[in-house]
Amino acid sequence: LIQERASPDGSCLSPARSTRAGRLFSADEVSEIGRSVASGLAYLHTAHRLMHGDVKSANILVSRDLTRVKICDLGVSIGLSADLRKPHDRRIQYEGTDPWRPPETLLRADGDFCESDDDEDGVMHLCDRTDIFAFGLVIWEMLCGDVPHATMHANGDEAYRQALGTRPPLPQLHRDFADLTHVFRCCTEREPDSRPSASQLVLWLGGSPSDIASSPSLDDA
């Protein structure tokens, strides 16, 4: 599911939509990849005060041996305030990709955005935790081997649109995945302030504080 096409020695990174040879990732593999992605997001958020703005499997490159994980495509990244709670430019729009869109980026019937908590009608309320919702759906992809909400297409366009910004259901998983399902649920809380930070996720997924500061996991290209 995570992008994977590499040379035999695992040294080359390039995207290719696939599962790993037709099988899903193990719990350890999901944790390892998730930790690397969270580390990259933590570095982006804290060191550069940037929100990625389009976290999804297609923007995560993984070597065949899983030893190298990179976040790519910062073309729609958004500069954040010092406290990471809002964009520098409040008029900016979240580009993202529909299946991974957080609720606060979706327009309501009244013309305002979900999770609006002030009087600025028509303004997206974006912050570092906007990336975290999309990260949670990447975890879901690795657990389920599918694009979020893909099955809703069969129920029509309106059902699909209603599903966007919600937490897709998980199948019955082995108890080995219990911690990961907890991470997924925390990341996909509807209220942004209820989601963990990227730095917290690094620790939850088995990393250390040094992973947050020294392992950016960002594509240099």
- pTM here is 0.84
For residues 84-88, average pLDDT:
91
Cα gap 163→157, rounded to integer Å: 10
Tokens matching residue 132: 């975290």
Find out whether 211 and 202 touch, Cβ atoms under 8 Å: yes
Active site residues: 54
> Given this model, what pLDDT does residue 119 score?
47
61 beta partners: 3, 70
Q: Which of 211, 148, 180, 208 is nearest to 26 (CA)?
A: 180
Neighbour-count burial for 88-120, b at 16+ CB within 10 Å, e otherwise: eeeebebebbbbbbbbbbbeeeeeebebbeeee
For the ranges 22-36, 107-121, 202-216, the maximum mean pLDDT occurs at 22-36
> Given this model, what pLDDT does residue 155 score?
79
For each of the domains in the chain, give its residue range(s) and CATH number, in order of start. 27-214 (1.10.510.10)
Q: What is the separation, in whole angstroms, between the first and last Cα of the chain?
A: 22
